[in-house]
Amino acid sequence: MIKQLTIAVFLIFIFNACNNKYEQKKTTIKENNTISNIQIYETSFLSLDSLEISAKVYEVSPDAPVILLCHQARFNKFEYEGIAQKLNERGFNCVAIDQRSGGPISNQINETTIRAIEANKPIGYLDAEQDILAAINYTANKYHQKVILWGSSYSSTLALYIALSNDQVKAVLSFSPGNYFADEKGSLIEKLALLTKPMFITSSKRESSEISQLISQMTLNKNQVHFIPKGNGHHGSRVLWKQQTDGQEYWEAVNAFLDSLKNNN
């Protein structure tokens, strides 16, 4: 009887340990930036198909507005290192994620992509949509508020589709989107005519005519901006990287848009 009780207690211990493993991983990787009092830490949560999604949180205050940052093809959350800190300076919390469709940059791996490959899960662009949706749920629940959704290249295209129908998204910033998924999800040209939420959309100067075509059926309201740079610019959010050519004019436009969101709250 004692032997059976001992085995039962051991099994309960193992069961609880397994259940707590995920939460422990979320909460123990944490650092405090004492200079700016910004909390920066890595975390993870589950996608809609239960794949573990890696993320990095840059928190100014639990009550501050929050931006969800999604990277471009072959990249990872490190695309927003430096960008997130500048957004913190403007008073915004940020959550940057590794989508399953991505890769390494600057010796930084995409942990979500690696897990997806190991689990034999597809890693196409559209497959990553569920990661963004799960990240919206995670971020909205964490901060008890609607999310500002920010995308780069393919993820900026998905961000526009998602913003059209997701009630937890209050505004969208889209860097270098395209009508890439028209066959699978319907043409964005037609769908964007129905978008009334605040929107900031931009690209390199070379891509600006494509963006004009993408929003050609929209009547932009006062909270919707198509920013066309004077300089050449770059594809995707990397235009905002430190010392990037033409980056300053993009930052000025982004900051003006984000300030308008604050003023309208």
Q: What is the mean pLDDT of residues 43-71?
A: 98
Q: What is the mean pLDDT of residues 34-52?
A: 89
* Mean pLDDT for all residues in the chain: 89
pLDDT at position 228 is: 98
CB 40 within 8 A of CB 55: no
For the chain, domain boundaries: 33-264
Whose tokens are 């403007």? That residue is 90
The pTM (predicted TM-score) of the whole model is 0.87
Backbone region of residue 259 per phi and psi (left: phi > 0; alpha: psi in -120 to 50; beta: other values): alpha
Q: What is the mean pLDDT of residues 110-139?
A: 98
pLDDT at position 32 is: 44
pLDDT at position 245 is: 87
Asked if CATH classification 3.90.1150.10 holds for the domain at 33-264, the reply, yes or no, is: no
Summarize pLDDT for 236-254 with one digit per residue, the tens: 999 999 988 899 999 999 9
CB 180 within 8 A of CB 155: no
pLDDT at position 243 is: 85
Q: Give dist(CA 201, CA 237) in Å, integer.
A: 11
DSSP string for 11-44: HHHHHHHHHHHHHHHHHHSEEEETTTTEEEEEEE
Provide the token pair at 105. 């940059």
pLDDT at position 226 is: 98
Higher pLDDT, 191 or 12: 191
Summarize pLDDT for 152-186 with one digit per residue, the tens: 999 999 999 999 999 999 999 999 999 999 999 99
SS3 assignment, position 125: coil
pLDDT at position 36 is: 60
Nearest CA-CA partner of 124 in 214, 184, 202, 203: 184
Higher pLDDT, 170 or 262: 170
The pLDDT confidence band at residue 265, using thresholds 50, 70 and 90, is: low
Summarize pLDDT for 174-224 with one digit per residue, the tens: 999 999 999 999 999 999 999 999 999 999 999 999 999 999 999 999 999
Nearest CA-CA partner of 178 in 193, 192, 168: 192
CB 50 within 8 A of CB 35: no
pLDDT at position 156 is: 98
Summarize pLDDT for 135-158 with one digit per residue, the tens: 999 999 999 999 999 999 999 999
Provide the token pair at 55. 């993320």
pLDDT at position 35 is: 40
CB 176 within 8 A of CB 204: yes
Looking at residue 140, its amino acid is A
